[in-house]
Amino acid sequence: MEFITGKHISRRTALRSLGATVALPFLDSMVPAGLFGRTRRQAPADPTRLVAIEMVHGAAGSNELGAALNLWAPAGVGRDFDLTPSALQPLEPFRDYLTIISNTDVQGAEATAPKEIGGDHFRSSATFLTQAHPKQTEGSDVLVGTSMDQLYAQRFGQDTPIPSMQLCIENINQSGGCAYGYTCVYTDSISWASPTEPLPVIRDPRVAFEQLFGAGGSAEERAARRQTDRSILDWITGRVAELKRQLGPSDRQRMDQYLENIREIERRIHTIEARNASGEARELPEAPAGVPDSFEEHVKLMFDLLALAFESDMTRVFSFKMGRDSSARVFAESGTEKPFHPASHHGGNEEAVRDFYKINKYHVSMIPYFLEKLQGIQEGDANLLDKTMLVYGSPMGDSNLHNHKRCPLFVAGGANGQLAGNMHLKAPAETPMANVMLSLLHKLGLDDMESFGDSTGDFSFTA
């Protein structure tokens, strides 16, 4: 695997052993030698990674008072805007990677018939990435649309071991109908492989870890490995040593850091499981043992798994559902003790609006942790933040009224040069959010798509 001879490691090389499969990060050794023995550091393939994050139930800045106070969208448009009063203020360090799109509507989440009135909670999540109107049903005859993450995965994710992954933070799988004639699958699922096929989500970090790094062997072998209380890396020690003998100094250093990151995540998962199985009272008694009681700890652990998955090119597509509309969870770290759903029904009272704003800001404050992780992972001549498109938003606008106007939305990352960053774009009134997502799909390479959801045309990303 010497560059000078033209030999190189396949990007799909993985280290396998009993109940373990560990893919490799991008290494210089994966690039064929260039002319005169000089290595081209550009990755053999340069796919954009896509992360779609739904934070449910709108934002304080989407009602009349919140908009006037700029509690979500900043006052200035173009490149001259101040994030200070906004819930987006935590993103200031990544301003050059930030594109805010304000004033778009999600019409597909609105009621279209009298019997649908009041069911906004129970159809909204299914609408976010599909921008389509869900069929009202409590049975298995669900119907909405194919989500944008799956359109991308179906076109550009089929050459990765896992075409896409779906994660969540809150509890899911509530059986039967939720309310107002809607099955809970609409509430649980934001990723749809087809209009009739919702994709399951993973809440337990252990399950996500096993999917990424424990896929080798049978379920019995994987269970046996876990019972030994040994790290997944202990099973591939010999293969790691063999590989490292063939690598140059920089690749060995990269491998060491990557493997240490895997080991650290595994250690954290084990610590959480041990703590939750200790018999001590839990804040989330219904949650699996691998799920942290702390929202922040849970979100950051999931983001660490996402970063490793992107680094190893196990998958290029994630959707991440970070809440449930009706959640009564308290986010004390936000600065308010009000439970999420009661806080969202603020009645237009300024003090109550500002309480909900604190929760919105706290949720957004989770994102810089992930952006920093991606920025610190080099792949060829660029970092992974340069190669990622992160879409964050909600299909709800003013949560107090359950409307779907002025819905919160921003995009972060460079998307392989497709997003300039440092931009606030305010859409004309009644612009469908679907227009934005259609244009994002074009930037992801789906140039032949003429429409998406209820789109009426492209959305311009220039001020």
For residue 299, tell me if it sits in a domain: no
In CATH, what number is assigned to the domain containing residue 379?
A: 3.40.720
Q: What is the mean pLDDT of residues 344-360?
A: 96
pLDDT for position 395: 97
pTM comes to 0.93
Say if CB 352 and CB 343 are below 8 A apart: yes
Instruction: Please tell me the predicted confidence (pLDDT) of residue 45.
Output: 59
Going by pLDDT thresholds of 50, 70 and 90, the confidence category of residue 2 is: very low
Contact in structure between 330 and 320 (CB atoms under 8 Å): no
- Does the structure show a pLDDT above 70 at 159? yes
Same structural domain for residues 324 and 176?
A: yes
* Residue 455: pLDDT band with limits 50, 70, 90: very high
Instruction: Find the mean pLDDT for residues 36-57.
Output: 73
* pLDDT at res. 40: 45
- Is the model more confident about 432 or about 239? 432
pLDDT digits (tens, 9 = 90+) for 19-28: 678 888 998 8
> Which one is predicted more confidently, 396 or 242?
396
In a domain, 137, yes or no: yes
Based on the fold, state whether residues 75 and 164 are members of the same structural domain. Answer: yes
One-letter identity of residue 219: A
Q: Is residue 4 part of a domain?
A: yes
Instruction: Map residue 338 onto helix, strand or coil.
Output: coil
249 lies in some domain: yes
Q: Do residues 87 and 130 both lie within one domain?
A: yes
Q: How far apart are CA 6 and CA 93, in angstroms?
A: 41
The reported pLDDT for the residue numbered 234 is 79
pLDDT exceeds 50 at position 1:
no
pLDDT at 438: 98
Q: What is residue 380's predicted lDDT score, i.e. its pLDDT? A: 86
Q: Report the pLDDT value the prediction gives residue 269, as an integer from 0 to 100.
A: 95
Q: Is residue 308 part of a domain?
A: no
Quickly state the pLDDT bin for 214 (edges 50, 70, 90). Answer: confident
**Element housing 426 (H / E):** strand 423-432
Q: Is residue 39 part of a domain?
A: yes
To the nearest whole number, what is the mean pLDDT of the chain? 90
Query: Is residue 34 scored above 60 in pLDDT?
Result: no
Question: Which structural domain range is residue 26 located in?
Answer: 1-45+206-290
Beta strands in 84-134 (DSSP E): 98-105
Where does residue 41 rank: exposed (0-12), middle (13-18), buried (19+ CB within 10 A)?
A: middle
| Number of independent structural domains in the chain | 2
**306 within some domain:** no
pLDDT at 41 over 90: no
Determine the pLDDT at residue 4.
29
Model pLDDT for residues 110-136, shown as the tens digit of each residue: 999 999 999 999 999 999 999 999 999
Which value, to the nearest 10 degrees, does the dihedral of the CA atoms of residues 415, 419, 423, 426 take?
-100
Mean pLDDT within 367-395 = 96
**Within a domain: residue 307?**
no
Q: In the structure, what pLDDT confidence band is assigned to residue 178 with cuts at 50, 70 and 90?
A: confident
Residues 174 and 213 in one domain: no
